[in-house]
Structure 1
Amino acid sequence: MERISISQLFMLTLVFQIGTSVIFGFSSAAGSDAWLSTLICTVIGTCLIILYLILMRLQPGLTLVEWFPAQFGQWIGVPLAWFYMLHFLYNAGRTLGDIKDLIPTTILPGTPNWVIIGVFMIAISYALYSGIEVLARLAEMILPVILVLFLLEIVLIFSSDIIDIKHLEPVLGEGWGRIWKAVWPNGIQQSFSETLELAMIWTLVIDSKRIIKPTLLASVLYGFLLAAFDGLAVLTFGEGTFSTSTYPLYRLVKVISVADFLENLDALGILYFVGTAFFKVSLQLYGVIRGVQLLLYLRDSRVLVMPISMIVFILGLTISRSTSEHWYSIKNLGYMGLIWWIIIPFLLLIVACIRRKFSNKSIVRSGL
């Protein structure tokens, strides 16, 4: 069985959570208080991840698809496990939809969508064939580059003399209403709740008892990075442009201009966008493939790589016909996502605690 280290888990978690968030302004509904909204999402989202980690500790050695049959029984648990795999497959298709919408409208206009997604999926399929260990080693090489690019972008923005601190004022000028609107329900579901998908790889960590610290550390770091970029976008564009722009964090790269020399760095934004999106889709599909393998009792998961890759390729092409339709579907699925990310895991925790309590009582009685 393949294994990954604690440091590799940290890097995979961070790059998975960054995903496509580095381009889209998911907290733009909060206007100039977007950075504050993101920090609140980080606190609530981290608490949600703690819930997932507690479920993992209550069921050691079991993956996500094994949690449900273990606690709810075969008749309820197995269908739930299948529904989660379908949901993860849909999420992967939605991430591909992000790529389909951004790249043709930025650096590759006129390029057919099927070509862009096809090339992307070929690379992902190769990574899935190679296994989680190769994917983890790739993250060790690429994540430091992405973080350096983040730091470089921040330095260049401050060097471009386009920052206006007045754009952040007044803080809470319109109260907590619009901030909460950005937080609930969509805000906490941007990568924080999706971390549940990584429960498919937690059992592959060499020392599974130590996964709590790197997972929470990666989540907090991701939240602060996203809050920093939201703050930079507001400082640069002001509330009006930031709130109405489809890709505000991508536009940050375009406005960089240092001494009329460093300009038009669009490729910089696309570079880390494609890199983080690659890892997110790869991990989502790895979880689906491993889950289906366990549910079907297959010996080799590689037989599932091509059919599942083809399904998500078709989903990526057809999941939306335009950027506005894509955004509309994301916003309208917010409350539906609460069922998968919060309600069912919370019910699972209650059942697991009850079963554990009765199990301990049975052990004590048998000992007497």
Structure 2
Amino acid sequence: MERISIIQLFMLTLIFQIGTSVIFGFASVAGSDAWLSTLISTGIGTCLIIMFLILMRLQPGLTLVEWFPAQFGQWLGTPIAWFYMLHFLYNSGRTLGDIKDLIPTTILPGTPSWIILGIFMIAITYALYSGIEVIARLAELILPVILVLFFLEIILIFASDITDIKNLQPVLGAGWGRIWKSVWPSGIQQSFGETLEFAMIWTLVINPKRIMKSTLLATVSYGILLSIFDALAVLTFGEGTFSTSVYPLYRLVKVISVADFLENLDALGILYFMGTAFFKVTIQMYGAIRGIQQLLYLRDSRVLVLPTAAIVLYLGMNISRSTSEHWSSNKSLGNLGLLPFIVFPILLLIVACIRKQLSITQMKKSG
């Protein structure tokens, strides 16, 4: 069986959570308070992930698809497990749809979407065939480069002298309403709730006792990083432009101008977007493939790679016909994520705690 280290888990978790949010800036609905909305989402999202980790500790050695049959029984638990796998595949298609919408409208106008997504999916398929150890080692190589690019972008933005602190004022000028609208439900589902997908990977970590610390450290790091970029976007564009822009964090790279020499760094933003999106889709698909393998009792998961890749590619190509449609469907499906990432885990935690307490009581009586 493949194994990954605790450091590799940290890197995979962080790069997964960054995902496509590094370009889209999902807290833009909160306007100039987007940075505060992101911090609040991080706090609530961290509590949600702690619940996932408690569920892992209550059921050691079991993956997500084994949690529900173990607690709810085969007749109820197995359909729920299948629901998760289908949801993971759907999320993979949506992430791929983000790429389809961004690349042709930015650096490769006129390029057919099927070519872009086809090449992208070939790379993902190769990674999935190679296994989680290779994916984790690749994350060790790519994440430091992405983080260096992040910090380089921050330095260049301040060096460009395009920020204005007045754009962040007044804090809470429009009240808590729009902040909460940004936080619930999409703010805590995006990346934070989706971290539940790592329940298909946690059983492969060499030192399981350190999973909680590593996962929470990655989560807090992601939240702080995204909050910084939201604040930078508001400082640069002001509330009006930031709130109405489809790709606010991508536009942030475009406005960099240092001494009329460092300009039009579009490729910088696309580079780390493609890197983080690659890992997000790969990990989503890996979780789905491993879960389906366990549900079907297959010896080798690689037989599922090509069929799964074909399904995700089809979803990515057809999930929306335009950027506006993609975003509107994201908003309309926001409450759907409450079921797999909040409702089911809470119910599972209640049942698991009750059954554990009953087991302890029974052991005391028999002893």
Q: Which TM-score band (shorter chain)?
A: over 0.9
What is the match of residue 167 of structure 1? 167
Offset of 1:334 from its aligned partner?
A: 1.2
Q: Normalized against structure 2, the TM-score is what?
A: 1.00
What is the match of residue 117 of structure 2? 117
What is the match of residue 335 of structure 1? 335
Q: Report the secondary structure of 2:24's partner residue.
A: coil
| Deviation string, structure 1 residues 200-236 (Cα, Å, up to 9, x no partner) | 0000000112100010000000000000000000000
Give the 5 Å matches for 1:108-187.
108-187=108-187
What is the match of residue 312 of structure 2? 312
Q: Report the secondary structure of 1:163's partner residue.
A: coil
Q: Normalized against structure 1, the TM-score is what?
A: 0.99
Give the 5 Å matches for 1:289-368.
289-367=289-367
What is the match of residue 79 of structure 1? 79
Offset of 1:264 from its aligned partner?
A: 0.7
Measured in 2, the distance between the counterparts of 1:25 and 1:221 equals 16
User: Could you tell me which amino acid in structure 2 is paired with residue 96 of structure 1?
Assistant: L
User: Could you tell me which amino acid in structure 1 is paired with residue 293 of structure 2?
Assistant: Q
1:61 correspondence with 2:61: yes
What is the match of residue 243 of structure 2? 243
Offset of 1:363 from its aligned partner?
A: 1.4
What is the match of residue 107 of structure 2? 107
Measured in 2, the distance between the counterparts of 1:355 and 1:207 equals 26
| Deviation string, structure 1 residues 17-73 (Cα, Å, up to 9, x no partner) | 000000002111110000000000000000000000000000000000000000000
Offset of 1:156 from its aligned partner?
A: 0.2
User: Could you tell me which amino acid in structure 1 is paired with residue 224 of structure 2?
Assistant: F
Offset of 1:191 from its aligned partner?
A: 0.2
Offset of 1:365 from its aligned partner?
A: 1.7
Measured in 1, the distance between the counterparts of 2:25 and 2:296 equals 39
Measured in 2, the distance between the counterparts of 1:296 and 1:25 equals 38
Offset of 1:114 from its aligned partner?
A: 0.5
What is the match of residue 207 of structure 1? 207
1:261 correspondence with 2:268: no
Measured in 2, the distance between the counterparts of 1:205 and 1:272 equals 26
| Deviation string, structure 1 residues 123-148 (Cα, Å, up to 9, x no partner) | 00000000000000000000000000
| Deviation string, structure 1 residues 288-332 (Cα, Å, up to 9, x no partner) | 000000000000000000000000000000000110111011111
Q: Report the secondary structure of 1:218's partner residue.
A: helix
Measured in 2, the distance between the counterparts of 1:260 and 1:336 equals 47
User: Could you tell me which amino acid in structure 2 is paired with residue 73 of structure 1?
Assistant: G
What is the match of residue 225 of structure 2? 225
Measured in 2, the distance between the counterparts of 1:288 and 1:186 equals 22
Measured in 1, the distance between the counterparts of 2:285 and 2:163 equals 40
Measured in 2, the distance between the counterparts of 1:256 and 1:190 equals 28
Offset of 1:82 from its aligned partner?
A: 0.2
User: Could you tell me which amino acid in structure 2 is paired with residue 352 of structure 1?
Assistant: A
Q: Report the secondary structure of 1:152's partner residue.
A: helix
Measured in 2, the distance between the counterparts of 1:64 and 1:340 equals 11
Measured in 1, the distance between the counterparts of 2:174 and 2:248 equals 21
User: Could you tell me which amino acid in structure 1 is paired with residue 250 of structure 2?
Assistant: Y
- Kindly tell me the number of residue pairs found equivalent between the two proteins: 367
- List structure 1 runs of 4+ shifted beyond 4 angstroms: none
User: Could you tell me which amino acid in structure 1 is paired with residue 149 of structure 2?
Assistant: L
User: Could you tell me which amino acid in structure 1 is paired with residue 214 of structure 2?
Assistant: P
Measured in 1, the distance between the counterparts of 2:357 and 2:291 equals 28
Measured in 2, the distance between the counterparts of 1:106 and 1:68 equals 43
What is the match of residue 195 of structure 1? 195
Give the 5 Å matches for 1:277-292.
277-292=277-292
User: Could you tell me which amino acid in structure 1 is paired with residue 82 of structure 2?
Assistant: W
What is the match of residue 33 of structure 1? 33
Measured in 2, the distance between the counterparts of 1:210 and 1:70 equals 24
Q: Report the secondary structure of 1:185's partner residue.
A: helix
Measured in 2, the distance between the counterparts of 1:336 and 1:24 equals 20
- Structure 2 unaligned regions, length at least 5: none
Offset of 1:340 from its aligned partner?
A: 1.2
Offset of 1:185 from its aligned partner?
A: 0.9
For the aligned residue pairs, the C-alpha RMSD in angstroms reads: 0.5
| Deviation string, structure 1 residues 84-121 (Cα, Å, up to 9, x no partner) | 00000000000000000000000000010000000000
| Deviation string, structure 1 residues 145-198 (Cα, Å, up to 9, x no partner) | 000000000000000010011100111101111111111111111100000001
